Chains A and B, each alone.
Chain A
């Protein structure tokens, strides 16, 4: 697919194009420009650092939605071996916006599953832009229960704008599908590690988002509502999405500070899409470290800690009655 760049990525892209031109020129003319090349590369990384140190929350949302960002199956392919994809909810359909199956992570058996976006029009039609229907959540639960039956740890990867809002989804009760997942995930006696790899869109994300560890890639977001949805309600205008993104405190750093995620997984400078291999390698290491720690925890302790973890989430005041 054609290279796609976000508005704030433009200065980087321009410099990178220049670098390529210079290289091509030097090769064609057989002129040594190595000093200039070094200079230009330095300038590129400086520009990158500058831009990426000053990202607004709205920029982060754009990065999380970057059309070249690695998706769930990209990570599965890069991190795992022997992946066997499993299909269907056994009731209605095989929702391709939710994928999953057994795999090995450094030889450790895991059940890995997540929401899956498409790369082009055709695959996005099949994947419904990564927005799952009720059958997607039911398939996810089926796979997670299967994992628990065989004492297999679960890894979920989240990248969705949300559960799909459609008539069919309502008729087949998407609210129930998500709610049942929330309840059941607290009862599965195997380690569950959740990673937000792109968009963490509301209930559709949370439906596979209950676990013992919550990881988030640096330039991902996780929010109760999309910035556009929030802007439409509070500002009566979707054009205020960037203000809403700031108000919602949805970036990885904000969420870590609030204690709502356990770990920020650093991305390569410039974002995961600039070096998907390095990104997958970093994520794999983080997952393995967490997996080792969690596998040492007895199941009853694991379940109690999972309950306590979510039990502690919330901020409120205690006032005198009638005050």
Chain B
């Protein structure tokens, strides 16, 4: 559509605030104005271009976990303000604003639930809460998720949506990268599977820690996935950013992820993979142990 961007005739600019709120949405990928109802019907996917919109943690939960089987863990953890951070706006004020806006306590929801036949430890990050950033609470909850999954011998699945480490907690946030990676290491050493699901956007500090340490890494279509932001790269290197740079399709082509999975196929794909990776009793009972069956 870029070819025709130049306007040769007068057009009425439809500003965002002129649209009846909530009825219509502009797709950030194809720029089409689409009827929100249609998006909701399609599990938050743009009907024009299949861009996967961010969805709420509860919607994500409903897609992945069998009804009424989810038990939340560590719901009581809330961010403190260790630096007493004050900038243009204070961290304390930002927290209040984001709690109200998102109805969440922080940027990740953790717990255990049934995914098809498997019990899984699940983390769902939410970009709506301070850009899905990782501070002490997100780091602690993710760490506890892996530790508890290790104790209960559960696979871990984390749905990422993040802009990176949380600036407002300074170096405490950076250290969450080390802390969570340490927990991934222990969980993995016990032979337990970890699947990382990258959604739009998944970038920076979280990508440079647990999000990239999945045994399997899958992404939703067209998600922005990377370490440094395109703007920073352009400013630093003066290089032209290639088309589709840091999108799911680009990172798949460069070998950084295992697969791109449509949202509608996510749960069935995860279940299928867990079948190969989970030493669950009932699953293994059906299957002959390869070593015993193989002729010497």
Instruction: Give A residues with C-beta under 8 Å from B.
Output: 163-167, 169-171, 173-176, 178-180, 182-184, 186-187, 202-203, 206-207, 209-210, 222-225, 229-230, 233-235, 243-244, 247-250, 255, 258, 260, 306-307, 310-311, 313-321
Assess the A166–B239 pair: CB atoms within 8 A: yes
Assess the A206–B177 pair: CB atoms within 8 A: yes
What is the CA–CA distance of A224 and B172 in the complex, to the nearest angstrom?
8
- Encode contact with A along B159-170: 1 for CB under 8 Å, 0 otherwise: 000000111011
> For B236, what are the chain A residues with a Cβ–Cβ distance below 8 Å?
164-166
Assess the B228–A321 pair: CB atoms within 8 A: no
The answer to whether the Cβ of B264 comes within 8 Å of any Cβ in the partner chain is no
> For B80, what are the chain A residues with a Cβ–Cβ distance below 8 Å?
315-317
- Residue B167 contacts which of A171, A210, A224, A314 (CB distance < 8 angstroms)? A224
Assess the A203–B208 pair: CB atoms within 8 A: yes
What is the CA–CA distance of A203 and B211 in the complex, to the nearest angstrom?
14
What is the CA–CA distance of A250 and B169 in the complex, to the nearest angstrom?
11
Given A175-B227, A310-B178, A318-B76, residue A248 in contact with residue B170 (CB < 8 A): yes
User: Nearest 10 pairs between A and B by C-beta?
Assistant: A165-B228, A314-B136, A182-B181, A315-B82, A175-B207, A175-B227, A313-B175, A178-B208, A234-B87, A179-B212
Assess the A316–B77 pair: CB atoms within 8 A: yes
Assess the A247–B87 pair: CB atoms within 8 A: yes
What is the CA–CA distance of A321 and B75 in the complex, to the nearest angstrom?
6
The answer to whether the Cβ of B139 comes within 8 Å of any Cβ in the partner chain is yes
- Encode contact with A along B166-193: 1 for CB under 8 Å, 0 otherwise: 1101111111111101111110110000
Stretch at the interface among B13-21, B117-125, B241-249, B288-296: B241-249
**A203: nearest residue on chain B (CB-CB)?**
B208
The answer to whether the Cβ of B88 comes within 8 Å of any Cβ in the partner chain is yes
> For B136, what are the chain A residues with a Cβ–Cβ distance below 8 Å?
313-316
CB distance from B132 to the nearest CB of A (A): 15
What is the CA–CA distance of A182 and B172 in the complex, to the nearest angstrom?
16
Given A313-B179, A317-B78, A319-B78, residue A260 in contact with residue B172 (CB < 8 A): yes
CB distance from A229 to the nearest CB of B (A): 8
What is the CA–CA distance of A306 and B175 in the complex, to the nearest angstrom?
13
**B77: nearest residue on chain A (CB-CB)?**
A316
- Residue B233 contacts which of A170, A187, A206 (CB distance < 8 angstroms)? A170
The tally of residues in B whose CB lies under 8 Å from a CB in A reads 65
What are 18 pairs between A and B in contact, CB < 8 Å? A165-B229, A166-B233, A170-B227, A175-B204, A178-B208, A179-B177, A179-B207, A203-B208, A203-B227, A224-B165, A224-B169, A234-B167, A307-B186, A313-B178, A313-B179, A314-B172, A315-B82, A317-B78
**B205: nearest residue on chain A (CB-CB)?**
A203
**B87: nearest residue on chain A (CB-CB)?**
A234
Assess the B83–A248 pair: CB atoms within 8 A: yes
CB distance from A222 to the nearest CB of B (A): 6
> For B237, what are the chain A residues with a Cβ–Cβ distance below 8 Å?
165-167
- Residue B87 contacts which of A169, A171, A178, A244 (CB distance < 8 angstroms)? A244
> For B241, what are the chain A residues with a Cβ–Cβ distance below 8 Å?
167
> For B254, what are the chain A residues with a Cβ–Cβ distance below 8 Å?
171, 173
What is the CA–CA distance of A222 and B175 in the complex, to the nearest angstrom?
11
- Encode contact with A along B205-233: 1 for CB under 8 Å, 0 otherwise: 10111111100000000000011110011
Given A175-B207, A179-B208, residue A258 in contact with residue B182 (CB < 8 A): no
What is the CA–CA distance of A248 and B204 in the complex, to the nearest angstrom?
18
The answer to whether the Cβ of B35 comes within 8 Å of any Cβ in the partner chain is no
Assess the B228–A224 pair: CB atoms within 8 A: no
> For B79, what are the chain A residues with a Cβ–Cβ distance below 8 Å?
316-317
The answer to whether the Cβ of B33 comes within 8 Å of any Cβ in the partner chain is no
> For B246, what are the chain A residues with a Cβ–Cβ distance below 8 Å?
170
**A167: nearest residue on chain B (CB-CB)?**
B239
Given A179-B210, A186-B182, residue A174 in contact with residue B227 (CB < 8 A): yes
Assess the B227–A169 pair: CB atoms within 8 A: yes
What is the CA–CA distance of A316 and B134 in the complex, to the nearest angstrom?
12
The answer to whether the Cβ of B105 comes within 8 Å of any Cβ in the partner chain is yes
Assess the A307–B182 pair: CB atoms within 8 A: yes
What is the CA–CA distance of A315 and B226 in the complex, to the nearest angstrom?
27
What is the CA–CA distance of A321 and B280 in the complex, to the nearest angstrom?
32
CB distance from B134 to the nearest CB of A (A): 10
> For A210, what are the chain B residues with a Cβ–Cβ distance below 8 Å?
178, 182
The answer to whether the Cβ of B49 comes within 8 Å of any Cβ in the partner chain is no
The answer to whether the Cβ of B137 comes within 8 Å of any Cβ in the partner chain is yes
Assess the A247–B185 pair: CB atoms within 8 A: no
What is the CA–CA distance of A184 and B188 in the complex, to the nearest angstrom?
11
What is the CA–CA distance of A166 and B232 in the complex, to the nearest angstrom?
9
> For B213, what are the chain A residues with a Cβ–Cβ distance below 8 Å?
179-180, 183
Assess the A234–B88 pair: CB atoms within 8 A: yes
Assess the B170–A250 pair: CB atoms within 8 A: yes
Given A165-B233, A307-B186, residue A250 in contact with residue B171 (CB < 8 A): yes
Assess the B178–A224 pair: CB atoms within 8 A: no
Which residue among A180, A230, A247 has the maximum number of chain B CB atoms within 10 Å of its CB? A247
The answer to whether the Cβ of B269 comes within 8 Å of any Cβ in the partner chain is no
CB distance from B137 to the nearest CB of A (A): 5
Given A258-B172, A307-B182, residue A176 in contact with residue B83 (CB < 8 A): no
